[in-house]
Amino acid sequence: MCCFRRGERGTTLPKRPGWRGRGGTLGVLLGLAVCPLWAQTPKGGWATFQDASRRLGIIGCVWEDTSQLFTNATQRIRFQNGQKRAEVNGVTVWMNHPPEGVTSNTWRIAVRDLDFLSLAILPDTEAEKPKNLHVLLDPGHGGMDVGAVSEAPFLQEKAFSLAMANRLGPLLEKAGFTVSYTRTNDVALSLSQRAAMAKTVKADLLISLHANHAANTKAVGFETYVVPPSGYSGTANGSRRNAWRPGNNNDFQSTLLGFAVQRQFCASQTNRVDRGLKRASYYVLRETSCPAVLIEFGFLSNSGEAGEMLAETWQEAHAQLVADAVTRYAKRIEALDGAVAEKREADRKANEAWRAKLAQRNAAKRDAGQVATQPSKRPSSSGGVPQRLAAPFPLAPFPSNDDHDEPAAQPPPPRPVAVERGTNTAPLVVGRLIDFYMKENPDK
C-alpha cells in the first residue's frame, strides 16, 4: 500500500495537457521514494493482532513507542516497530517482514512469520525419544578455498569448519544419529556437490559449518541461517524488501532447527553476542533436498574471538550445543511435520512452478544468446547483439557473488578487497537478479 493515491494527485496538479501526465509520473516516483517500503503487503498477507493473540496465546501486552512486548505464562516475544529483528524467549529472530502498528487496533504481522512463530519456533511439546535422523555435516570451504582467515592467531575457516565437523560427528553418533560428511579432509567441493550429496546419502538434515568475517574487526557473535521462504528476500541489511526468490519446501523444518541452534547457543553463553536466526538464499540452503541450516560460529576477523575459536574446549563445547540442538529438533520434528503437511505441499508446488518458469526463461535466453553470437548481417547500434540480451543477469540459475553461493557460469569480476564476507551485505549481483525476478513475478 502506498501513501499516494491517484485521485489526490490529479486534483493538485496543473490541468494543462502534458503537465498532468508528467506530474503523475513524478508523483509516482516521489511516492515510491518517500513511502516506507515496509508498508508493502507481505506475500501471503497480514495477520491482525487478534489473529496473533489467538495463535500465540498472548495474554499480556506492553505497548511502547518503539516496541511491543507480548507474553503468556511461558513465552515472551518483543517486536520492534518497522524492524525485522525480534526477540523470542531471549533469542534474536529476524522476521521475514517487519511487523507494524503500535496499538492493538493497528498492529499486524506477516501471516508467514506468524506461521513460523506459532508452528516451528514456539511449540514446546516434545516426544520422549528423538527421531532417528541421518545428519549430513558440511564443513565449509576446503582445498584452495580457505574461507575466512585470522592472521593472529592464525586460523583458516576451512580448518576450523573441518575441526567442528570432526567434533560434532561423534557427538551426534553418540546421541543415536547417523552421520555423513561432505568432506573429511582438506579438499575443495563445489556447492552443488555439497547440496547433491544430501540427496545421494538420503540425509534428513544438512548442517553447514562456517566461521564469519567482517571488515569491521569489532564484529563478534554467532548467527544461524536458513533460506527465506519464496516471495521474501534475506534478512541482511540492504536486502531488497520486495524481492521474489525461490525457496524450498523445508522452511518450517529448517526454521525449527535454526532456532534450536540459536537457542542452545544463547542459553549457554550469555557473554557472547547473539546475532540471531537469519535468512539468506545461500546455495547449500536453497538447493538442498532436506532441511538445512548454516552456522556461523564466530568472527575470524576479531582476534579475540578467533583466539577463543581456536581452543579445543571452545570447539568441543560448541559442538555439544549443536548436537543438543539436533536432539531437540529430533524430538519435535514429527509433530511439526504433521502440523505443516498441507503448507509444505503448497510450498512445494509453488516452488516447482517458479523454478520451471525460470528454467524456461533461462533456456530461452541461452537460445537467444546462441543466435546472437552468429555473425550479424546488419550492424546495429548495440554491436549486433540485441539490447535485451545485455541484461545484467547470468544464465545459471540463482547465482550470486556471496561466499556461500555457487559461482556463476562465467568467472565473476575481481572482488573488492574490503568486501564484508557473507553476513550483512546484499551483493550487487543479487540486487540485479532480484530486479529481474521482480519483473518476472506475476504477483508483483
* Site residues (vs Zn ion, CB under 5 A): 140, 147, 210
Question: CB of 429: closest distance to Zn ion in angstroms?
Answer: 18
Question: CB of 7: closest distance to Zn ion in angstroms?
Answer: 52
Q: 122 or 429, CB closer to Zn ion? A: 429
Question: CB of 293: closest distance to Zn ion in angstroms?
Answer: 13
Q: 84 or 210, CB closer to Zn ion? A: 210
Q: 210 or 286, CB closer to Zn ion? A: 210
Question: CB of 209: closest distance to Zn ion in angstroms?
Answer: 9
Phi, psi dihedrals of residue 375, rounded to the nearest 5°? -60, 135
Q: 41 or 193, CB closer to Zn ion? A: 193
Question: CB of 161: closest distance to Zn ion in angstroms?
Answer: 7
Q: 210 or 275, CB closer to Zn ion? A: 210
Q: 210 or 318, CB closer to Zn ion? A: 210
Q: Could you tell me where the beta strands, DSSP code E, fall in 184-343?
A: 205-212, 222-226, 274-279, 292-299
Q: Kindly state the helix (H) or strand (E) to which residue 336 belongs, with its residue range.
A: helix 312-339
Question: CB of 325: closest distance to Zn ion in angstroms?
Answer: 19
Angle at 28 between CA 24 and CA 33, to 5 degrees: 145
- CB-closest chain residue to Zn ion: 210
Question: CB of 148: closest distance to Zn ion in angstroms?
Answer: 6
Q: 52 or 319, CB closer to Zn ion? A: 319
Q: 167 or 210, CB closer to Zn ion? A: 210
Instruction: Kindly list the distances between the CA atom of residue 7 and the CA atoms of 12, 34, 39, in Å, as whole numbers in the listed order.
Output: 9, 18, 20
Question: CB of 337: closest distance to Zn ion in angstroms?
Answer: 30
Q: What distance in Å separates the CA atoms of residue 323 and residue 239, rounded to the nearest whole number? A: 31
Contact 140, 404 (CB under 8 A): yes
- Residue-wise DSSP of 304-334: HHHHHHHSHHHHHHHHHHHHHHHHHHHHHHH
Q: What distance in Å separates the CA atoms of residue 214 and residue 242, rounded to the nearest whole number? A: 26
- Residue-wise DSSP of 156-171: EHHHHHHHHHHHHHHH
> Which grid coordinates belong to 84?
525485522
Give me the residues paired with residue 295 across strands: 209, 224
> What b/e sequence results for 120-152 when a residue is b if at least 16 CB atoms lie within 10 Å of its CB, and e otherwise?
bbbeeebeeebbebebbbbbbbbeeeebbbbee
